[in-house]
Amino acid sequence: MSAGQLDNFFLWVDAIGVWQVLCRDDLLIGSAAAVDEAADIPLLAPLSRRHARFIRQDDAWFLQPLQSCAVGGRPVTGQTLLRNGSEIQLGDRVRLRFRIPSVLSASALLEFLSGHQPRLSLNGVLLMADTLLLGPRQDNHVCCPAWPDSVVLYRRQQQLLCRSKIPLTLSDAPLPEQHDLSQGAILSGPELRFRLEPGRTNSAV
């Protein structure tokens, strides 16, 4: 198991959408158009190759601008604390909303406001701290209104695990107590199905 797979995966949720999940505490956002694409979050947008960094310190997220950035309409030059609902502007055109949907987790969600997206259309980018909540509640990271209950994805040591009151199956067998989803997995339950697809390394995207 390589650390890269755990760091970066796609979360495909049937009938809901797709999110890119990034697990590191220091993430680079920049243009996807560059030949040597370096960004963890590459957007098809008029940005620099390395435009800004998202940095997590304990339970707080900061924006470290490398090029022109604004938070909440104000240009920022130094490391800036991001609050739930903050609007981030990168360059002249790109606008993102930063959210921390759940008070139970430091995981954050980036939503695309200006229509600038990575090469694949995403519903958003999840900056995962230790846990992700998928479920019917508005304050879940991925809100799935039709689901009967929530599913929690969490990291333990180098493993990615899943927990829920819903009886879940992994590859058509009941989800075992000991499992690791970091290599990718398809999880199903009554009325729901989602897939974790390991992200490729940056250079291969």
Partner 1 sequence: MKFTFGPETRPLEGITIKRAIHRGGFGEVYYAVTDAGKEVALKLLHNNLEVELRGVSQCLNLKHPNLVTIFDIRQDAERDHWIVMEYVGGQSLHDALQQHPDGMPLQQVLNWLTGMTAGLSFLHDRGLVHRDLKPANIFSDGGVVKVGDVGLSKFISESRRSAQTQSVGTVYYMAPEVARGRYGREVDVYSLGIMLYEMMTGRVPFEGESAGEILMKHLTAEPDLHLLPAPLKTVIAASLEKDPERRIHDVETLLQQFLQAVTATGLPLQQPAVFHTLQPDDMFPGSRPVAPRQPAAGGSAERVAAGTAAAGAAAGIAGAATATADGPQPTMARQSGYAWGSLLQLWNDDLPAPVRWMLTGALLLAGLRSGLLTSPAAQGLAIGWLAWWMFGRSKKSQPLTDSRNAQPNASAAADRLDNTVIMPQQQSEPTGAVAGRPQAVRQRPPQSHTAAAPQYRSVLLTPETVRSFTLLQRLLNATTSMSLALVTAVFVTAAVFWGTEILGTPVEAIYFGAATLLAAWPLILVSKLWEGRPGESLLRRLWLGLCGLGVGALCGVTAEFLLLINSPVPSQIFQVDSNGLLGNREAAGLKVLQDGTPTIVGFALFFCLLFMFRRWWLQADNFRSARFRIGSSILTLITGGMVSLIVPFPTVLGSTLALAVSVVIQVSAVWTPPELRNT
Window 138-177: contact mask with partner 1 (x via CB under 8 A): --------x-------------------------------
Contact 23, 2 (CB under 8 A): no
Nearer to partner 1, 42 or 65 (CB): 42
**What minimum distance in Å lies between the beta carbon of 15 and partner 1?**
6
Phi then psi for residue 195, to 5 deg, are -135, 140
Query: What is the dihedral sign for C-alpha 148, 154, 156, 157?
Result: positive
Decide: is 121 part of the binding site for partner 1 (CB under 8 A).
yes
**What minimum distance in Å lies between the beta carbon of 188 and partner 1?**
8
Nearer to partner 1, 122 or 152 (CB): 122
Of 36, 38, 69, residue with least CA distance to 52: 69
Window 71-110: contact mask with partner 1 (x via CB under 8 A): ----------------------------------------
With 0-12 CB in 10 A as exposed, 13-18 as middle and 19+ as buried, what is 77? exposed
